[in-house]
């Protein structure tokens, strides 16, 4: 098994990577790597390098060409669930290929996160990227109110889907035809679902209403189901 480590681009210096104390502890104390042993370094933006451990630094040996990312960008807009639910969403949906996470506060949102929460979410995203052998660390945006999140979107390049449950007369997400060459955005509601006013705001903004099926899904389950359906449509 070849171990993977995400580093900041500022740590790269010509053919050398300057490792932080925490990274050195992980490599030498946790993984028990010795000088000369190899591992993989990612810059989180698509560059993958084979390196060897050299005391407190890593020596770049080879630029690797890997294609582990989806062919389309998938953005996930999620009404923040209570407790640690959003952490579970980040871990699982990073594995499924999500490009960015957009946490939002809605009429029924119970969690009001601090800056410390955002830092933890980004750390979890980085660790999940290392574990599932992706090349790009998903972006996690700061939480904002729903109207602000919608106003920041460019729906000229994004196909946006409002995910609902038990709504007759709307197409199932799994049967949707996604336009070519467009990014994909999935909006997942809070415990208790979207309010009627929020649904009207989404539809007026150009979102397509889609169903995730007849069963009631938890807020931490619905994103996984929706992203897995998109993976199936893309056959990836």
What is the mean pLDDT, run by run of 10 residues, along the chain of 236 residues?
Answer: 82 89 90 90 87 91 85 94 92 96 89 83 94 92 94 92 84 87 94 92 95 89 96 89
Question: What is the pLDDT, as a whole number, of residue 14?
Answer: 84
DSSP code for 149 = H
Predicted confidence at residue 47, as pLDDT, reads: 85
Q: Which of 199, 175, 178 is nearest to 187 (CA)?
A: 199
Contact 152, 83 (CB under 8 A): no
| Dist. CA 2–CA 49, nearest whole Å | 12
Q: What is the pLDDT of residue 2?
A: 74
- 10 Å CB burial of residue 190 (0-12, 13-18, 19+) is buried
pLDDT of residue 236: 81
Reply yes or no on domain 4-64 having CATH 2.40.240.20.
yes
Sign of CA dihedral 123, 188, 192, 143: positive
pLDDT number for residue 1: 60
CB contact set of 142 (below 8 Å; sequence gap of 6+): 103, 118
pLDDT for 68: 80
Q: Which residues pair with 208 in a beta bridge?
A: 161
| pTM for this prediction | 0.87
All structural domains of the chain with their residue ranges: 4-64, 74-234
Task: Say what the pLDDT of residue 111 is.
Answer: 67
Is residue 190 within 8 A of residue 220, CB to CB? The reply is: no
Distance CA 62, CA 66 (A): 12
Residue whose C-alpha is closest to residue 214's, from 184, 177, 174: 174
Token pair, residue 99, equals 């490009």
In this structure, CATH architecture of domain 74-234: 3-Layer(aba) Sandwich (3.40)
127: left (phi over 0), alpha (psi -120 to 50) or beta: alpha
């Amino acid at each position: 098994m070849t171990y993977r480590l995400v580093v900041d681009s500022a740590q790269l210096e010509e053919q050398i990577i300057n490792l932080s104390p925490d990274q050195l502890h992980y490599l030498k104390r946790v993984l028990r790597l010795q000088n000369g042993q190899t591992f993989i370094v990612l810059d989180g933006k698509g560059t993958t390098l084979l390196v060897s451990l050299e005391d407190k630094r890593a020596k770049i040996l080879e630029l690797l060409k890997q294609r582990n990312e989806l062919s389309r960008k998938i953005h996930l807009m999620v009404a923040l669930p209570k407790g640690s639910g959003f952490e579970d969403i980040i871990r699982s949906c990073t594995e499924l290929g999500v490009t960015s996470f957009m946490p939002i506060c809605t009429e029924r949102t119970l969690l009001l996160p601090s800056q410390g929460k955002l830092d933890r979410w980004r750390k979890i995203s980085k660790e999940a990227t290392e574990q599932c052998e992706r090349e790009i660390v998903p972006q996690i945006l700061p939480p904002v109110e729903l109207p602000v999140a919608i106003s920041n979107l460019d729906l000229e390049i994004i196909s946006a889907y409002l995910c609902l449950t038990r709504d007759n007369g709307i197409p199932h997400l799994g049967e949707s035809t996604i336009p070519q060459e467009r990014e994909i955005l999935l909006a997942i509601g809070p415990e208790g679902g979207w309010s009627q006013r929020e649904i009207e705001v989404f539809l007026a903004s150009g979102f397509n209403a889609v169903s995730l099926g007849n069963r009631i899904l938890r807020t931490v389950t619905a994103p996984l189901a929706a992203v897995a359906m998109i993976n199936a449509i893309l056959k990836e």
